[in-house]
Amino acid sequence: MASAVQIPVSEYLQTTYRPDREYVDGEVLERNVGKWEHARLQALLAQWLGMHESIWNLLVSTEQRTRVTETRVRVPDLVAVRPGPHPDVLTDPPLLVIEILSPDDTYTALEERCQDYLTMGVETVWVIDPRTRTGRICRASGWVSAQRLEVPGTPIHVELPMLFGRLESPSTPDSPQSA
């Protein structure tokens, strides 16, 4: 990642960055973006969750600024929230946050982002690694590896083998759409 720039949170919140950046304790931080598998998984997950919005009673958004504390704003790859009006910068904990690893991400940075979401009150964070074709469910009680990522107490889920199977191939009418 490139070097950070110090600015007040009020200035950050009034500034548009392309691509968007995170704000952590006065620093504007660049995010790792632009890799094929990361972008493709983000699109597939948005499509999957979007197809289920009315059934699962949620709204999905990509790269939504989320103010996790007074001095930190994260930009997760995807969020799922309950239907209703939402501000331009989320301040209430999303139902689900999804982070897709980029080759340049570090474990330390990922762990810090996940801890920020949990501290905010997000109950479930999915972490997906396209390189290893693995996923983890991150909750206050710990991180659990899983092939089926779920949000406890809801029908919200994704089967990682199905998702990874679509990375390089389009789905066909007779391919399974839900498992």
User: Is the pLDDT higher at 82 or at 20?
Assistant: 82
pLDDT attached to residue 175: 47
Three-state SS annotation for 145-179: ECCEEECCCCCCEEEHHHHHHCCCCCCCCCCCCCC
Of the pLDDT bands very low, low, confident and very high (cuts 50, 70, 90), residue 1 is: very low
pLDDT attached to residue 178: 45
Q: How far apart are CA 151 and CA 24, in angstroms?
A: 27
The predicted-structure confidence for 101-151, as pLDDT tens digits, reads as follows: 988 888 898 999 999 999 999 999 999 999 999 999 999 999 999 999 999
- Bridge partners of 142? 139
Q: How far apart are CA 10 and CA 26, in angstroms?
A: 10
What residue has token string 């590896």?
Answer: 145
Q: Is cis: bond before 83, omega within 30 of 0?
A: no
The encoded tokens of residue 102 equal 């980029």
Question: Above 80 in pLDDT, residue 66?
Answer: yes
Q: Tell me the domain boundaries of the chain.
A: 32-165
Q: How far does the chain reach from its first CA to its final CA, in angstroms?
A: 38
Which CATH architecture does the domain made up of 32-165 adopt?
Alpha-Beta Complex (3.90)
The predicted-structure confidence for 2-23, as pLDDT tens digits, reads as follows: 555 588 999 988 888 888 888 8
- Smallest CA-to-CA distance from 104 within 17, 28, 37, 167 is with 37
pLDDT attached to residue 96: 98
Q: Are strands 96-100 and 59-62 parallel, antiparallel or unpaired?
A: unpaired
Q: Which residue type occupies 17? A: Y
- Bridge partners of 91? none
Q: What is the pTM of this model?
A: 0.87
pLDDT attached to residue 41: 95
- Order the strands of the 66-69 sheet from edge to edge: 5-6, 27-29, 22-24, 72-74, 66-69
pLDDT attached to residue 127: 97
Low-confidence winner among 52-66, 68-82, 99-113, 145-159 (lowest mean pLDDT)? 99-113
